Structure 1
Amino acid sequence: MPYTVVIPAAGRGKRMGADLNKLMLTLRNKPIIVWTIEAFAKDAWCHQIVLAIRLEEQAWFEEALHHIETPITYVAGGEERQQSVYAGLRAVSPDEIVMIHDGARPFVRVEQLHQVAEAARSEGAILAVPVKDTVKQVTDAHISKTVPRSDLWLAQTPQAFSASAILAAHEKAAAAEFIGTDDASLFEWIGEPVRIIPGDYHNIKMTTPEDLLFGEAILTKEDYR
């Protein structure tokens, strides 16, 4: 089942504390974004990759990804993630399935990609994992409520949709100046259903320096992908 993946890659990664795009940081001497792109390049269902970048970094991305055989389209990203995804979606054919994936999530597995793509034929679909820890609601530095975790899940990517439907959601959000926390939240905002596909806890996002340590640990497992 063919799909296109849109990957926003124009962020600064302030929480990583680096003085460059965090996707350029390395795990086992390979940039994070290369690990991520290779995960999709290994999937025969993925027929196009759209990277939303800062144009001044395009030469770096082209050099780092020159070995990827899956066609890569580069578009100019925005200041915010949502703007970058919107720019990427405009480069996708409206009559196909599109996945939206964080460039800083290098450990997604091919079987998970297929599960999300299949589900997206009829509704939105995202990878997610159940919350493991007790969740506290806090007001003024004091616990106001312990939130039951039985129905709580942590959203991951990829998130998959009909390309025309998620583009319409982005267009409406842009017109209303609505900013969602992820693409699924835009789909929810316009009243469309989104299915949860159980993911795994290896599919972490490289956000802080500690995550780089976790990433190196994951890479010690031969079956991580």
Structure 2
Amino acid sequence: MFSSNSEIRYTLIVAAAGVGKRMGLSYPKQFLEHNGKPLFINVLEIGEKLKLISDIIIVTGKELKEEVKNMCEKFKITKVKYIAEGGRERQDSIYNALKYCDKNSIIAVQDGVRPFFKEKYLENALNELKNNPYIDGVVVGVPVKDTIKVVNEEGIIISTPVRSTLVAAQTPQVFRGKILIEAYEKAKKENFLGTDDSSLVEKYGGKVKISLGDYGNIKITTIEDISFLKREGD
């Protein structure tokens, strides 16, 4: 069972290996600033503040590791244990970060480009896992507002899922270390590519629960998101 005693380590992995191609940026999107700080620093500061988190692993591009290290020193982020090298896909990046994690730990994965990420999201997810020994992970998410259509390659609608059963997954996503690491190892062997951490755990039989987040916990992905970021910063 999940425990808050000293025998359990709580590791936060911060994914900051994006390159910003979809946004047409000349620099990685995690270096976009919000409130005078790079986006990923806002995330790291929450991990630094939360007492339960014992160490942080950042995953970023090989050419950015030194700059990320300097940023951590500048903003006094002291819990960073390793800066892992990013891979071709997000899944490859997290796989690289997991090499530095203990299977007996609790591992939280957080996108480095969610500038409105709040401490309560991580605390709530950890508490959900702590209080339920029958689940393997917790994902922060929100109910889908729009009607979702499943389409074929020609764009023809083939089905409409029941909206009340749909949730948009966000981060943080929190898992028992052994379960998450083994899921990533199996996916690597089978060349399975998921769209988030939970999808790997689910594929290999893990039970994952949703913890309610809020609609403001957006991931900066498109050029429109930059405009939203600027409005929020005004």
Decide: shared fold, TM above 0.5: yes
Match of 2:209 among 170, 190, 195: 195
Unpaired runs of at least 5, structure 2: none
Shift in Å, 1:185? 0.3
Percentage of identical aligned residues: 36
Partners of 1:39 and 1:106 within 8 A in 2: no
Q: 2:25 aligns with which of 12, 18, 33?
A: 18
1:27 CA displacement: 2.0
In the alignment, is residue 152 of structure 1 matched against residue 166 of structure 2?
Answer: yes
Equivalent residue runs for 1:118-129 within 5 Å: 118-121=127-130, 122=133, 123-129=136-142
Aligned-partner SS, 1:8? strand
Q: Give the secondary-structure state (helix, strand or coil) at the position aligned to 2:65.
A: helix
Q: Structure 2 vs 1, CA of residues 35 and 87 (structure 1 numbering), >3 Å: closer, same or farther? A: same
Question: What are the superposed Cα offsets for residues 68-113 of structure 1, whole Å, 9 maximum, x if unpaired?
Answer: 1323411122111111101111101221110011111122221221
Q: Are 1:114 and 2:114 matched, yes or no? A: no
The equivalent of 2:109 in structure 1 is 100
Q: Which residue of 2 aligns with 1:33?
A: 40
Matches of 1:53 and 1:137 in 2, distance apart?
A: 33
Q: Normalization by structure 1: what TM-score?
A: 0.91
Match of 1:83 among 69, 92, 100: 92
Indicate if the aligned counterparts of 2:106 and 2:177 stay in contact, CA closer than 8 A.
yes
* Residue correspondence of structure 1 range 136-215 to structure 2 within 5 A: 136-139=149-152, 140-215=154-229
Does the 8 A contact of 1:3 with 1:117 survive in 2?
no
Greater Cα shift, 59-68 or 196-205? 59-68
Moved more, 118-127 or 137-146: 137-146
- The one-letter code sitting in structure 2 at the alignment partner of 1:128 is G
In the superposition, the TM-score normalised over structure 2's length comes to 0.87
Q: Deviations over 1:130-184 (max 9, x none)?
A: 0011222334234444432111100001111111110000000001111111110
Following TM superposition, where does structure 1 have runs of at least 4 consecutive aligned residues deviating by more than 6 angstroms? Answer: none
- Mapped to 2, the partners of 1:143 and 1:178 lie a distance apart of 26
Contact 1:129 1:155 in 2 (8 A): yes
Structure 2: distance between partners of 1:135 and 1:104? 25
Q: Distance in 1 between matches of 2:46 and 2:230?
A: 16
Is the contact made by 2:179 and 2:206 (CA closer than 8 Å) also made in structure 1?
no
Q: Deviations over 1:4-32 (max 9, x none)?
A: 11122222122111121111122233211
